[in-house]
A and B are shown apart, each in its own frame.
Chain A
Amino acid sequence: MSKRITLDPITRIEGHLRVDVEVNGGQVSKAWSSAQMWRGIEVILKGRDPQDAWSYAQRFCGVCTTVHAISSIRSVENALNVEVPLNAQYIRNIMIAQHSVQDHIVHFYHLSALDWVDIVSALKADPKKTASIAQSISDWPGNSEKEFKAVQDKLKKFVEGGQLGIFASGYWGHPAMKLPPEVNLLAVAHYLKALDYQRKAAQAVAILGGKNPHIQNLVVGGVATAVNMDNLATLNMERIAYLKELMTETRDFVQKVYYPDLVAIGSFYRDWFRHGAGVTNYLAVPEFAEDTRNTKFALNGGIIYNGDLATFKPINDHQDQALIQGITEGVAHAWYEGADSLHPWDGETKPEYTDFQENGKYSWCKSPRFNGKAMQVGPPAQILASYAAGNPLVKKVVDATNAKLGIGLKEYHSTMGRLVARGLRAHVMADLSLTYLDKLVDNIGKGDTAYANNTEIPSGEYKGVGFHEAPRGTLSHWMVIDKKKIKNYQAVVPSTWNASPRDEHGQPGPYEASLVGNPVAMADQPLEVLRTVHSFDPCIACAVHTIDPAGKEITKVKVL
């Protein structure tokens, strides 16, 4: 007998996602991913000034503000063929990398760890043993017995006072929780500590961006962060020294806390390298522009089909015509008018809500496809593409991690593989942040103090696309400018690629495909379903409805 489970909403933080799964014999047989809120924000950009679009665009998403600003400004620069001075590229690169570090720290500890870490079990841990485990995997100075004991005492007080609050509905004691109490305590302590480091990353972004969470320093053709080593009102030596201190501290946290924790947790959940592969076609765009025309990059982009690295086709720059022409968005199963797949420059946002029809329209999310195929985007795509291209930075960390975990590249096509890829990405980003700070100082030292090519919007019609490899994957903003105003605007965001509903050919999106075959030990506590969905870092919050085959709700559980 099959059981139907509805999780709505499913993210811990942003927007509304509903996932329906049909469970047969302890595993998922069918899945539907449905975005429950229309965010047709593109519509409000029409008719506005192109140079202002980025400041609206960074409110597209509640979490990834910076990324939409970057993609949006690049779409104007691409349309008008504007060069971006090196200093501006370096400053943008530091903001992109630090934003990623912040985002990944928060995802690992605050948005996904509690799928794997049992807070209540941590109460049974021996803090001394926790300290010795922690010290055996890292020389980070914050791992003392005293530290772990203090966290455990605080946690006890909360549990005894009935103050487990929002955590009260967690799946504590679930049979799929496998960590020993000591490792649970380790993770809970770092869960609390992680907030200090995501803050340092946010501060780094704010030093350059003027403000956090919403940066203020972009202009078409560069940045408005004036660079003058000797002027106190601008980015000067003192600010740069502070930036370096902040970014060094976050790098140490990522490499000496987040990364070893991830490897430790991964080694207790080896079976999760076998679940959750789903769509193994990958798409990533190159990132970290190192020249003024977006043609030279530090990390690689490309396409991989069926999880086979031999099929790797590089995407070398942001002007790649095969990439630009290959992207379409379909609405066959989305709540928009029509059934056509359109290129984003011709894209429409005309809502037509029915209700949840599992064989008809069932999501506010469109179905992006590349050359007609569903693609997975995100850290695994970027890591695998860079690895396939022989990128030395990426190859080094991937090989070292594979040796530690006893895994190969094929294990990256999985729920735990996505978490590992994200941790590796954070590792690389933390280093790159410091690299670009050095390059910035060096370039200014050579006498280059340009930070923007001031650009007027000409009359006439222009089309542009701004690509960005964001924390959740490939992001693109598509803009059509006419008579100095925005005529059309479409954002094809990473979570749309991954949370996509079926397309006109019935091909499921990555969330849907990855859930099929997932184990579910207890239908009223579908922890395993959350693990796989959360592994994508969905950006689109949670109640679980268990529904019997006749569609009658058996139970409803709120999940954070």
Chain B
Amino acid sequence: MKTLIFGAGNLILSDEGFGVHCINYLAERYQFPEEIELYDGGTLGIMVTHKIEEAERVFIVDTVDTAGEPGDIFRYEKDDIMLNRLPVKLSPHQIGIQEMLFISELRGGCPANVSLVGVIPATLDPGNELSPPLCDKLPRVAGLIVDELRGLGYEIREKQQNVLH
């Protein structure tokens, strides 16, 4: 089974890039089996729909615009997306992800299991680093995904970290 971890967002608008930061964090710290692909989808939305269709299980990491505190973590499943129950966020790729999944479903290409893990951003100002509250949450979101993947039977090893760093 091929599983795709899709990081969405814009790396140069600080917290907007949370999904991509998460992919980079996972790649640095863990050794994934070949059937798992970490993908930096940027803000392309509909132009990368094929990546979703090629997978059998998809996790999308993104930011969401909903009530709560910066760094609050939310999770949505495919039904939420198809019935338009996602909180529309204020980001440059606003409609991309939902439209992408919807068209895929209409084409009969959308995998049965699609989960979206979203965090509330603190800032969308220009900058290539996450804000402190989101920086704090990054290991937790990454950990949630790794635990779930292990639960699905994947063997995921932690990479040796260089202690001098």
Contacts and interface: CB of A to CB of B under 8 A. Distances in A.
| Centre residue among A12, A15, A63, A154 by max chain B CB count within 10 A | A63
A14 B94 CA distance: 7
Interface string B115-132: 000000000101110000
A102 B92 CA distance: 20
Interface string A156-184: 00100011011110000000000000000
Contacts of A65: 42, 44
Interface in A181-208: 191-192, 195-196, 198-199, 202
A102 B44 CA distance: 12
A167 B107 CA distance: 15
A165 B102 contact: yes
Contacts, number: 106
Contacts of A221: none
Contacts of A168: 84
Contact of A198 (B13, B47, B93, B96): B47
B42 A110 contact: no
Interface stretch (A38-46, A238-246, A443-451, A458-466): A38-46
A102 B47 CA distance: 8
Contacts of A278: none
A202 B108 contact: no
A452 B82 CA distance: 48
A293 interface: no
A14 B106 contact: no
Interface in A28-73: 37-41, 43-44, 56, 59-60, 62-63, 65
Chain B interface size, as a band, is 35 or more
Contacts of A37: 92, 124
A213 interface: yes
Nearest to B12: A59
Given A14-B93, A39-B126, A165-B84, A158 B42 contact: no
A9 interface: yes
Nearest to B127: A44
Interface in A65-119: 65, 102, 106, 110
A154 B106 contact: yes
Given A13-B45, A59-B42, A62-B42, A195 B95 contact: no
B46 A41 contact: no
Contact of B106 (A62, A155, A214): A155
A29 B104 CA distance: 40
Interface in B60-104: 82-84, 88, 90, 92-96, 98-99, 102-104
A163 B102 CA distance: 9
A106 B45 CA distance: 11
Contacts of B42: 59, 62, 65, 213-214
B126 A166 contact: no
Interface in A219-259: none
Nearest to A119: B106
Given A166-B84, A166-B99, A214-B40, A106 B126 contact: no
A41 B12 contact: yes
Contacts of B47: 63, 102, 106, 198, 202, 213
B126 A40 contact: yes
A99 B99 CA distance: 21
A199 B43 contact: no
Nearest to B44: A213
B11 A59 contact: yes
B126 A43 contact: yes
A68 B96 CA distance: 20
A192 B106 contact: yes
Interface string B41-54: 11111111110000
Given A12-B95, A63-B47, A213-B41, 6 more contacts: A39-B13, A44-B126, A165-B98, A195-B107, A199-B50, A202-B50
Interface of A: 9, 12-16, 37-41, 43-44, 56, 59-60, 62-63, 65, 102, 106, 110, 154-155, 158, 162-163, 165-168, 191-192, 195-196, 198-199, 202, 212-214, 541, 558, 560
10 contacts: A37-B124, A43-B126, A62-B44, A62-B92, A106-B46, A110-B99, A155-B106, A195-B50, A196-B50, A199-B50
